[in-house]
Structure 1
Amino acid sequence: MAELVEERCPYLFSARPVFISDEQTERMASVVRAVESVVALPAYRDRVLGEALPIARHDPGGAKGVFFGYDFHVRDNEVGLIEINTNAGGAMLNAVMAKAHHACCIDTAQAATTAISSRALEKGIVDMFYAEWRLSGRDRPLQTIAIVDAAPEEQYLYPEFLLFKQLFERHGLRAVIADPAELQLRDGVLWHHDTAIDLVYNRLTDFMLELPASAALRAAYLEHAVVLTPHPQAHALYADKRNLALLCDAKLLDALGVAPSTRDVLLANIQHTEVVDVAHADRLWSERRRLFFKPTDGYGGRAAYRGDKITKRVWNEILAGSYVAQAIMVPGDRVIGSR
């Protein structure tokens, strides 16, 4: 596994630790709580889901979605939310990294604390999947999980898929790693070859299950034949980047009935974001050096551009596409000194 991580993900872990203060941690937690409270508002859900594809309005059956990722940039005492993801990777790799810290802990007490936190993290991960199963109203034990992504063995985080499989199996679950095209829906049951699948841990970037390879998974989701987590509704409510523009618009937040204290937390800690509109093209072009442009349904930095790097050709592509413009917050530096 170590060799596979080194081969696939040589820059996954920093060579030096980065420290986050208690104050910064609490500020980030307050932003997460604020976002969650807004997403729970009927007015917000009606507005966002009303503009989404029909599958996003499908009732997911109770599942909330596993592994949301709130991406913050941190600089000095500031934090800035730049993105929300609903199929964030890295949790199991962080669990393994926590175990590795045994080798560099200063004393026995720290080593013991690290061991406890690592076990707690892994238990929390498994408990989260069991919770999704219970929230979906299933009245029998969870038995099988499929970890699904396109061509999984070719994915950058394939080592993590293997770690998840091992984790689930250590807790008595049968687990498979599958391409969505390998799934079949037969007689109201989703199958991977000869294995009936209870729950799909969804790592696809086909967020709305639109591709032909996702057809069986899409049908199983719409028929409630499988628990899918995360699901299209979660992506529409949280991860569509247009939502960040809404969450940092004071007038819209007031119109949705957001409490003033919640509104103030969002405005102070979300990097200002707006939907790119041709009507504002001249202003955005003139301000481009302080902006970052992202496709509304993008992921992993694909087709995203720093404003100071874009050409007129790329700018025309941005205007013709579906993009948001976000104020750049350069993350802080960690300076390693020498004596």
Structure 2
Amino acid sequence: MKTTFDQLAARQPQLFSAADIRVDKAQLEAMAEIVGAIEMVLALPAFRAEVLARAPESARWPVVARSVFMGYDFHLTPAGPKLIEINTNAGGGLLNAYLLAAHGHADEAATFVAEILEMFRAEWRLERGDAPLTRIAIVDEAPAGQFLAPEFELFRDLFAANGIDAVIADPADFVRDGQRLLHDGQPIDLVYNRLTDFYLEGEPCRAIRALFQAGGVVLTPHPAAHATHADKRHLMLLSDADKLAALGIDAATQRILLAGVPRTIAVDPAQAETLWAERKRWFFKPPTGFGSRAAYRGDKLTKRVFEDILAGHYIAQEIAPPSEHEVIVNGEAQTMKADFRCFVYDGHIQCVAARLYQGQTTNFRTPGGGFAPVFAA
């Protein structure tokens, strides 16, 4: 890889904490159990059929790729890990491989990097069999200005070092040429999708959308994965015993889910008075939001914001407070909150990383905060 960890840390010092986090092995095993149980439920044909029927059109186009970098985000509590949300195109995976190496765990870092590379090749094989994978586009809007832009460069370096040409591009940089997606006149085989236009609905995505619909390019993560995994309304199903039973979920799996997914409900304007009175127990989120945007802790709400929530088809999730960790910053002890991101592919946890912060939500602005490697205690 051409870019070094020191170069990354110098460019984006808020990305990385100097701390490492020790977690009881039982907590790590419990996270894996919860991920496995959720993956089983979300793969059920009845669930998928219902979800995709109401999803945007692009989520219903045929696809067999599994989607790279699912992000399962947890808080660790005295009662065990609690799932906060699931994200597609979770950022930071390759950054955390570098972080593991910087903390002296070169073998673990190399294993994770190898899994990342194989994951992209597996996505390609699922869609194209034994055809050669020659060119990948890493795509986001105005990629050079993105907070995680250094990671795009790491991916480009990784692909190039392994015989796969790669470019970093804005979605508007592509054109359609029959059944080919072109960038600077060269065909693209696979798009590594870092966009937050999850269903390719915006005008800049027109060429990618058309070729994806026609089967002319492999896209990962893809719209169907977002519909089946990242819609936060799924948390209502995963935390509801009656709904799980109606789907035929066995008792053991139900126990895992009900212990690991905080109760989540739809915000019903008819229950406004009760929700306001009990607001301190809830975290309010838009069902299709990402990156903590427009999400609010109930104890921080104003009446005006609450009125917007009532009109916005929100969900409310019982608050599971994050764990706190002592971190040395400039020679002084600081207390940081942490959430824990499991990078997941095909139901398998590839890496667990902590995100350390102070304030209401993860922010990558706290001095001494940022990504931190996680090791079993």
For residues 190-269 of structure 1, what are the structure 2 equivalents within 5 Å? 190-269=181-260
Unaligned runs of 5+ residues in structure 2 are: 334-377
Q: Work out whether 1:101 is the aligned partner of 2:103.
A: yes
Partner of 1:66: 68
Q: Distance in 2 between matches of 1:213 and 1:322?
A: 27
Q: Distance in 2 between matches of 1:42 and 1:25?
A: 29
How well do the aligned residues superpose, as a CA RMSD in angstroms?
A: 1.8
Q: CA deviation at 1:75?
A: 2.6
Q: Distance in 2 between matches of 1:303 and 1:5?
A: 29
Q: If each structure's helix is expressed as a fraction of its own residues, which one has the higher value?
A: 1
Partner of 1:109: none
Partner of 1:10: 13
Q: CA deviation at 1:48?
A: 1.5
Q: Identify if the C-alpha distance between structure 1 residues 323 and 208 changes in structure 2 by more than 3 Å, giving closer, same or farther.
A: same
Query: Among residues 280, 284, 289, which one is paired with 1:289 in the alignment?
Result: 280
Look up the SS of the partner of 2:176 in the other structure.
strand
**Which deviations, in whole Å up to 9, do the C-alpha atoms of 1:141-164 show, x marking residues without a partner?**
111100000000000000000000
TM-score between the two structures when normalised by the length of structure 2: 0.83
- Report if the CA contact (8 A) 1:63-1:136 is conserved: yes
Q: CA deviation at 1:215?
A: 0.8
**Which deviations, in whole Å up to 9, do the C-alpha atoms of 1:224-280 show, x marking residues without a partner?**
100000000000000010111111111111111112211111111012111212222
Q: Distance in 1 between matches of 2:8 and 2:269?
A: 44
Partner of 1:86: 88
Look up the SS of the partner of 1:84 in the other structure.
strand
**Which deviations, in whole Å up to 9, do the C-alpha atoms of 1:102-142 show, x marking residues without a partner?**
3xxxxxxxxxxx22211111111000000001111344111
Partner of 2:142: 151
Look up the SS of the partner of 2:113 in the other structure.
helix
Q: CA deviation at 1:306?
A: 1.0
Q: CA deviation at 1:11?
A: 2.5
Unaligned runs of 5+ residues in structure 1 are: 103-113
Q: Work out whether 1:332 is the aligned partner of 2:323.
A: yes
For residues 303-314 of structure 1, what are the structure 2 equivalents within 5 Å? 303-314=294-305
Query: Among residues 123, 127, 134, which one is paired with 1:136 in the alignment?
Result: 127
Q: Distance in 1 between matches of 2:200 and 2:99?
A: 33
Which structure has the higher relative contact order (CA within 8 Å, separation 6+)?
A: 2
Q: CA deviation at 1:6?
A: 4.1
Q: Distance in 2 between matches of 1:247 and 1:77?
A: 18
Q: Identify if the C-alpha distance between structure 1 residues 7 and 309 changes in structure 2 by more than 3 Å, giving closer, same or farther.
A: farther
Q: Work out whether 1:127 is the aligned partner of 2:127.
A: no
Q: Work out whether 1:55 is the aligned partner of 2:58.
A: yes
- Report if the CA contact (8 A) 1:8-1:157 is conserved: no
- Report if the CA contact (8 A) 1:4-1:159 is conserved: no
Look up the SS of the partner of 1:266 in the other structure.
helix
- Report if the CA contact (8 A) 2:9-2:16 is conserved: no
Q: CA deviation at 1:336?
A: 5.6
Q: Distance in 2 between matches of 1:309 and 1:208?
A: 32
Q: What is the number of residues matched between the two proteins? A: 327
Partner of 1:45: 48
Q: Distance in 1 between matches of 2:115 and 2:195?
A: 22
